[in-house]
Chain A
């Protein structure tokens, strides 16, 4: 059986990204990736994906447009509030036993999850002992994450989420609103390091007590998902915690053998059995 033209174009486009710019998307889950690439070509006013290939090869600066298009970072603060509630009630008490707490937020996109966690850590009195590493492969997203400016229309949903997650105050205490935007309190990022890290190619860089990576691995094929999970395992100290997105399956990844569920339904796991 021969391949369809649009699938051939996708393959050639991915090859061009890799050969020209060193970015390897070949192990991403194909269906979503294709959708994003086709959308990107439409957004650029192109009729086919082949048109993207020429621009990737010859147009300086176009790669940042591609990265932005292929990462499409969508999130909300305190998405799936029960997860944050469980972290606060079941994981924070364990973290509290450490004098210094390292937390890695992998694929942090625009930072909504970083600040959600920062707020809960602050309210639990743990923040000043924490070092948060917020990483993404998209520099533009990282820059936005540091800015912490979001559309004001999101605030209502995020406030509801925050309360449902067990927030102690009002979310409005943590942001200032101006025109159609809200800007989160910059104090929330005083212990956050934003850095470029690509789960496809980069390695362990810290010893973490908690790794959060929610709704990132759903975009990865099995092999790449397993690579990322192995990376989390190797980054976590024994007894450390892993939090994934609420609908992610890890049953196809051998490297999750060493994790035991804290709450399987909420996708909260712990590495090994012993603390220390």
Chain B
């Protein structure tokens, strides 16, 4: 894999807690952009950003249409829209139909990011109660990116990471505690 430029993260049930723990340990010198699609059930992405900011060492903001994905910043998909990444690493939004009953859908983010970043992308699938993200994770691997799945035995809800393992497979399958150190190590060389 080439030097990673972006990390995309997907989660649903149990995701807030997992994200808080993960973001607390990411290195402030991370030379990659971090993009999150979380089904939290809340329609208020601003609140989610605020909650995550309390724990994160990197700034957490809502991903904005046409804005570039910023290095060293965590960007969160707004509720009610699919979040996509264009080839020039700028964000795009869509109100296309739900995918896997979700909007934003992790698959939509992962697949577009895989197209944009190819072998410089790391995809992370965390705890969650549906199968969204598994096909996107497969696309990431197909494009030469790295797939990381939270160990289903360690996840608050195993369905999502298990689907990731079943459908995409993974380059790394780790408990949450090991995830941030792994990402830091993969990105900072």
A binding-site residues for B, Cβ under 8 Å: 29-32, 34-36, 72, 74-75, 215, 218-219, 222, 245, 247-249, 251-252
Contacts and interface: CB of A to CB of B under 8 A. Distances in A.
Contacts of B96: 32, 35-36, 72, 74
B112 A31 contact: yes
Interface stretch (B50-58, B60-68, B151-159, B176-184): B60-68
Interface in B82-121: 82, 84-87, 92-97, 108, 111-112, 115-116
Interface size class of B (residues with CB under 8 A): 20 to 34
A34 B115 contact: yes
A247 B78 contact: yes
A248 B65 contact: yes
B112 A247 contact: no
A1 to B, nearest CB: 10
A218 B87 contact: no
Prevailing SS type, chain A contact patch: loop
Given A30-B86, A34-B115, A249-B64, A218 B78 contact: no
Contacts of A30: 86-87
A204 B115 CA distance: 37
A249 B115 contact: no
Nearest to B67: A249
Given A31-B86, A75-B95, 9 more contacts: A29-B92, A30-B86, A32-B92, A36-B96, A74-B96, A74-B97, A247-B78, A249-B66, A252-B66
A131 B96 CA distance: 29
B130 to A, nearest CB: 20
Given A35-B96, A36-B96, A218-B93, A249 B86 contact: no
Contacts of B172: none
18 contacts: A29-B86, A30-B86, A30-B87, A31-B85, A31-B87, A31-B112, A32-B82, A32-B94, A32-B96, A35-B96, A35-B111, A36-B96, A74-B97, A218-B81, A219-B94, A245-B95, A247-B64, A247-B81
A224 to B, nearest CB: 12
B86 A72 contact: no
Given A34-B115, A35-B108, A35-B111, A218 B86 contact: no
B84 A31 contact: yes
A271 to B, nearest CB: 22
Contact of B112 (A35, A222, A248): A35
Contacts of B78: 247
Nearest to B94: A32
Given A72-B97, A74-B97, A247-B78, A31 B64 contact: no
B64 A32 contact: no
Contact of B66 (A72, A75, A222): A222
Contacts of B111: 35
Contacts of A72: 96-97
Contacts of A247: 64-65, 78, 81, 93
A218 B95 contact: yes
Taking each of B85, B95, B97, B115, which has the highest tally of chain A beta carbons within 10 Å of its own beta carbon?
B95
